[in-house]
């Protein structure tokens, strides 16, 4: 038994995804750092001990039936750990993990993530790619391979004007949403579905150069099946992230087979759409109707000499998958926030009407003047953080977090939901004004800028963030031109959970009242 326990303890010092944690920082001797500031060793970081540090088992013990928590409410578990152990906690979330909630520690992590930031990968995706002979997908890559795949996308997706090319086309999708919201007798589930259809339709237009047709009376079956496959596989990825599907790494069990079938279908639809776009591009090039500098994402990727068809399929497939679920849920949460704060909703409506009028179309120039709109969305992100635990990184160097030495290779969670409340005045109030530029709002503490980062930070931030925010701006301006947003009494105390991204525990019953 002693030998077995020794083996398990040794395993606790290794990330199960392959990042070896150096043992040199495991010493029980307190180190000195930066001019006699005491730095305590990794082994002294507080957190659940004993069996809670065992691989796999240690993660499972944090959830029902062993505690009151479920993976969907992991944010509550995290707050409980910080309440009990302090601002730096060591525990098992898959691999050995250190969680921090002080924004000064967030700043330390981001300033040490290096040229090629590392974030956790998912074993189920790696297993799928290997078993099907595919390259590792863009989101799974690390190091120079990741950088090589990301570089051509940065040129097309990260520029400040990269999304504005699609403003008019995505604006038409927003008008479809308005028409759908005007229908009577919509249920809470109907509203939730409409937000998902809007987000899916909008980003599909960018990724694949055509509409899905989800707002038509009878959408095409392939389109609806594609959307459902993306929704289901995203939920399975959340399960994998929280350790539910760890056996799929070794076994082709029923969960893995379901995941494989879903991805195979999505890949086929993606490949067919890209092939169709390639034919259109070739025809336009032959007729001389194509300009090399046209800011069309898919056409520009198809013209990229350093990208294979598989690379392109992966890029646009990732953009679609990442930009649907998250945008739909964040838009729903933003509308909920506006509904609960009618006076702020009215200030925002007046800004929109002053700049666009009652029927005007959102343009890049008009959007640049809408300071309150941008501040309101950011404040919604602060009140309702999109991701359950914030941002995760695995650093290439040793760092000091709090007063503890954390070795290279350790999985680090920057739990931003906690300082989103603790580091702001009147934290439970929806106050977009706190983000408006003024002398009073300028913060001298630079670390505060690392709290509300809904799309990540640094080289590894979300590639689709400009499109996601544009879609939310479009939907908000068009809806507020036409409706007053409210919610039914039973939805005013909605609780939120996390299934990959934030969502209401029960669907929200919205009320959209026509203004004219």
Annotated binding site for heme: 462
Give me the residue label for tokens 């987000």. 199
Q: 3-state class of 91 per DSSP?
A: strand
| Whole-number Å distance between alpha carbons of 72 and 192 | 18
The closest alpha carbon to 206, from 292, 299, 291, 282, belongs to 299
Q: Which residues contact 464 (CB under 8 A, 6 or more apart)?
A: 157, 203, 319, 322, 323
Give me the residue label for tokens 């990724």. 207
**Per-residue CA distances from 27 to 22, 47, 194, 490 (Å):** 11, 17, 55, 55
Helices and strands per DSSP (H, E), number in the chain:
17, 12
Residue 499 pairs with which residues in a beta bridge?
501
| Whole-number Å distance between alpha carbons of 318 and 303 | 19
Phi and psi torsions of 98, nearest 5°: -115, 130
Cα 484–Cα 326–Cα 458 angle in degrees, nearest 5: 120
Strands (E), 305-424: 391-394, 399-401, 404-406, 411-414
> By the 8 A CB rule, do 125 and 237 touch?
yes
Crossing angle of helices 371-383 and 465-482, rounded to 10°: 110
Q: What is the DSSP letter of 289?
A: -
Q: 3-state class of 414 per DSSP?
A: strand
Q: Which residues contact 308 (CB under 8 A, 6 or more apart)?
A: none
In this structure, what token pair is assigned to residue 239?
């399960």
| Whole-number Å distance between alpha carbons of 347 and 422 | 26
Give me the residue label for tokens 């060591």. 90
Where are the alpha helices (H) located in 101-142, listed in sequence order? Answer: 103-111, 123-131
Phi and psi torsions of 312, nearest 5°: -65, -45
First to last CA, the chain: 76
| Dihedral sign (CA 254, 224, 227, 235) | negative
| Residue ranges at the known binding site | 462
| Whole-number Å distance between alpha carbons of 181 and 511 | 9
Q: 3-state class of 443 per DSSP?
A: coil
| Whole-number Å distance between alpha carbons of 444 and 248 | 48
Strands (E), 5-160: 31-33, 37-39, 88-92, 96-100
């Amino acid at each position: 038994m002693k030998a077995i326990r020794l083996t398990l303890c040794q395993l606790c010092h290794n990330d199960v995804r392959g990042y070896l944690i150096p043992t040199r920082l495991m010493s029980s001797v307190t180190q000195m750092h930066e001019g006699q500031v005491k730095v305590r060793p990794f082994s002294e970081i507080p957190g659940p001990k004993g069996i809670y540090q065992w691989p796999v088992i240690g993660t499972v013990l944090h959830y029902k039936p062993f505690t009151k928590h479920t993976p969907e409410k992991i944010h509550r578990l995290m707050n409980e750990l910080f309440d009990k152990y302090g601002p730096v906690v060591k525990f098992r979330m898959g691999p050995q993990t250190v969680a921090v909630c002080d924004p000064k520690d967030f700043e330390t992590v981001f300033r040490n993530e290096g040229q090629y930031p590392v974030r956790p990968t998912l074993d189920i995706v790696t297993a799928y790619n290997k078993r099907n002979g595919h390259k590792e997908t863009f989101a799974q890559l690390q190091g120079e391979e990741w950088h090589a795949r990301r570089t051509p996308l940065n040129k097309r997706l990260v520029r400040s004007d990269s999304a504005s090319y699609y403003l008019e086309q995505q604006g038409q999708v927003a008008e479809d949403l308005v028409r759908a919201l005007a229908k009577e007798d919509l249920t809470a589930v109907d509203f939730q579905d409409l937000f998902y259809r809007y987000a899916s339709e909008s980003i599909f237009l960018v990724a694949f150069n055509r509409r899905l047709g989800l707002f038509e009376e009878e959408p095409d079956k392939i389109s609806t099946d594609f959307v459902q496959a993306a929704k289901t596989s995203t939920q399975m990825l959340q399960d994998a992230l929280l350790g539910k599907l760890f056996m799929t790494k070794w076994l082709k069990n029923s969960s893995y087979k379901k995941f494989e079938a879903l991805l195979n279908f999505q890949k086929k639809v993606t490949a067919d759409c890209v092939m169709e776009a390639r034919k259109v591009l070739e025809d336009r090039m032959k007729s001389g109707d194509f300009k090399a500098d046209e800011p069309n994402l898919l056409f520009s990727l198809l013209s990229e000499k350093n990208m294979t068809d598989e690379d392109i399929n992966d890029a646009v497939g990732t953009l679609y998958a990442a930009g649907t679920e998250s945008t739909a849920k964040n838009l729903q949460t933003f509308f909920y926030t506006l509904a609960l704060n009618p006076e702020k909703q009215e200030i925002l409506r007046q800004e929109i009407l002053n700049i666009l009028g009652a029927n005007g179309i959102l343009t890049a120039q008009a959007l640049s003047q809408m300071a309150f709109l941008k501040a309101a969305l950011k404040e919604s992100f602060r009140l309702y953080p999109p991701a359950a635990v914030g941002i995760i990184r695995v650093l290439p160097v040793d760092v000091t977090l709090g007063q503890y030495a954390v070795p290279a290779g350790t999985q680090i969670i920057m739990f931003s939901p906690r300082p989103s409340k603790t580091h702001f005045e009147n934290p439970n109030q929806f106050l977009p004004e706190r983000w408006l530029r003024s002398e009073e709002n300028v913060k001298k503490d630079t670390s505060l800028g690392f709290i509300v980062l809904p799309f990540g930070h640094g080289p590894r931030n979300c590639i689709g963030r400009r499109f996601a925010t544009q879609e939310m701006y479009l939907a908000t301006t068009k809806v507020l031109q036409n409706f007053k947003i409210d919610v039914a009494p039973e939805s005013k105390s909605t609780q939120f959970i996390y299934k990959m991204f934030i969502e209401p525990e029960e669907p929200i019953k919205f009320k959209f009242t026509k203004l004219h």
